[in-house]
């Protein structure tokens, strides 16, 4: 699938003479991406769902006012086949970051996750195919397009995930977010392989943490850290491990992928693996005992029989609790040049931001 040979590209094509588009530009990670692009002098276009809701992107307007670059805002709905035509016309790089992210309280996985992820990718790439100026698409996928359960590593070389693997355990009814990420990324590669004008780079970040540029962000990362601090897990947490990375590293990786004319394929953007309890200990050591941080593990046997009350199915418990998790980020470091910041700093900075902006409740 990734056999396309790099074609000759005019260096100016990936320069600052052309606009670049960031779909979902007001999001948690995308805001950092837009910030770095503006400070680097790019003409940045972003899409938002509701252009009249200026509060959702005014932080980017303020950044643009004091940056070398410029900012244009467009309204676009992922489900509208024509929504991206105007904003992509004339661009040479498209960063497609817009995608729903829901883990809990999902009533209709098809409508809430699959349709906007899959159709949104199709609609963006359809507009790319119409805009002959576009030379590269950088798609934000997720680590969940590489694996669904920790036990997916069984049979994998050294039981370590790399970019060569795809999520085969998620489906519409089990971990539908991972399923949505997988089908959307596969569709992007299919559409890429049907043409030979533009190149595709896909980034597969793990859970990204760190400070935000806007308290309007609805990223699931905030819920993850908030629940560790607000007493939700005061009685304990499952022994589950997660891949972590600083949100600013993810944003920078997007720029590296765009600026390197030879970059192509998938890149896992993940730094460290920690258990939920280890994350809680990092916060506990910094913020002290005034918070109800979890300080013990829940019994796996108890989770197997009663975990559904906390949203953990028996299948999830069997395939993820007490299981190891390993990633090889060599490709992102060596080929993209990503230099990873310490994850502990991102964990602490995220809770600091939540507290400073009264977001704990």
Q: How far apart are CA 269 and CA 249, in angstroms?
A: 8
Strand 70-75 relative to strand 43-48, pairing: parallel
- Write the Ramachandran bin of 218: left for phi over 0, alpha for psi from -120 to 50, otherwise beta: alpha
Give me the phi and psi of 40, to 5 degrees please.
-90, 0
Strand 241-246 relative to strand 207-209, pairing: parallel
Paired residues of 275 in beta bridges: 241
157 is catalytic: no
Q: How far apart are CA 88 and CA 93, in angstroms?
A: 9
Q: How far apart are CA 172 and CA 183, in angstroms?
A: 11
Q: Where are the beta strands (DSSP E) in the chain?
A: 19-23, 43-48, 70-75, 93-96, 136-140, 199-205, 207-209, 241-246, 265-269, 272-275
**Token pair in block for residue 144:** 């969940």
User: With contact defined as beta carbons under 8 Å apart, do 96 and 29 qualify?
Assistant: no
The structure tokens 């992007």 sit at 188
Q: Angle at Cα 109 formed by Cα 190 and Cα 54, nearest 5°?
A: 85
Q: How far apart are CA 325 and CA 220, in angstroms?
A: 21
**Token pair in block for residue 1:** 């699938």
Q: How far apart are CA 24 and CA 104, in angstroms?
A: 21
Please identify which of the residues 35, 136, 181, 241 carries the catalytic annotation: 181
DSSP state of 275: E
| Nearest residue to 96 (alpha-carbon basis) of 40, 46, 151 | 46
Enumerate the active-site residues: 181
């Amino acid at each position: 699938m990734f056999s396309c040979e790099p074609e000759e590209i005019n260096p100016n094509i990936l320069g600052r003479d052309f606009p670049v588009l960031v779909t979902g530009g007001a999001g948690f990670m995308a805001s950092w991406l837009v910030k770095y692009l503006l400070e680097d002098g790019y003409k940045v276009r972003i899409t938002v769902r509701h252009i009249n809701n200026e509060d959702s992107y005014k932080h980017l307007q303020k950044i643009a006012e004091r940056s070398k670059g410029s900012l244009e805002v467009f309204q676009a709905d992922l489900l509208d086949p024509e929504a991206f035509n105007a904003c992509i016309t004339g661009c040479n790089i498209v960063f497609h970051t817009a995608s729903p992210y829901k883990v809990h309280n999902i009533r209709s996985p098809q409508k809430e996750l699959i349709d906007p992820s899959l159709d949104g990718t199709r609609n963006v790439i359809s507009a790319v195919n119409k805009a002959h100026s576009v030379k590269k698409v950088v798609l934000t996928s997720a680590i969940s397009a590489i694996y669904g359960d920790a036990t997916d590593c069984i049979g994998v070389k050294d039981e370590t995930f790399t970019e060569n693997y795809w999520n085969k355990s998620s489906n519409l009814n089990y971990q539908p977010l991972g399923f949505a990420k997988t089908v959307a990324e596969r569709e992007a590669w299919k559409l890429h392989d049907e043409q030979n004008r533009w190149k595709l780079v896909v980034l597969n970040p793990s859970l990204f943490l760190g400070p935000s540029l806007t308290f309007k962000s609805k990223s699931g990362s905030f819920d993850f850290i908030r629940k560790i601090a607000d007493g939700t897990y005061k009685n304990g947490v499952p022994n589950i491990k997660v891949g972590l990375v600083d949100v600013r590293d993810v944003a920078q990786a997007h720029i590296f992928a765009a600026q390197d004319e030879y970059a192509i394929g998938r890149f896992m953007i993940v730094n460290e693996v920690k258990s939920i309890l280890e994350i809680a200990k990092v916060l506990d050591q910094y913020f002290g005992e005034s918070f109800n941080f979890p300080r013990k593990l829940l019994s796996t046997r108890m989770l197997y029989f009663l975990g559904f009350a906390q949203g953990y199915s028996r299948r999830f418990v069997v395939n993820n609790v007490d299981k190891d998790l390993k990633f090889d980020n060599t490709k992102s470091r060596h080929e993209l040049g990503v230099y990873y910041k310490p994850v502990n700093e991102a964990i602490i900075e995220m809770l600091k931001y939540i507290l400073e902006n009264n977001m704990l409740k």
